Amino acid sequence: MAKIQKKDIEKKIYEYHAEMCKVFSHPTRLEIINTLRETEMNVTELSVRIDIDMGNLSQHLGMMRDRRILTTRKEGNVVYYRLAGFDYRDSSR
């Protein structure tokens, strides 16, 4: 029984790693990550900064948010995106 449980856990880990690799396998998503290292931004700001239409950008952001690479905060009607676990006050990065 323990061997089966261990195999199931290992399989889940491999599936999780494969999902993370999908995030990092697209140049636009890498550009988003690099851009958000500087500061949090809303979709309009990101769209202008990396020169991509908002519809396409929103799909990338949604995928990255679902996989917990990005987090959001809402200010009025505007949603700001930031890297999960990233402290923008830390100047050493």
Q: How many CA atoms lie within 13 A of 1 on its CB side?
A: 0
Exposure string over 78-89, b if 16+ CB within 10 A, otherwise e: eebbbbeeeeee
Q: Where are the domains of the chain?
A: 2-83
For residue 22, what pLDDT band results from cuts at 50, 70 and 90? Answer: confident
CATH of 2-83, picked from 1.20.970.10, 1.20.120.160, 1.10.10.10, 3.40.190.10, is 1.10.10.10
CB atoms within 10 A of CB 93: 9
> Does residue 87 register a pLDDT over 50?
yes
Q: What is the pLDDT of residue 91?
A: 45
> Does residue 35 register a pLDDT over 90?
yes
pLDDT tens digit sequence for 47-70: 999 999 999 999 999 999 999 999
| Residue whose token pair is 């676990």 | 85
Cα-to-chain-centroid distance, residue 42: 14
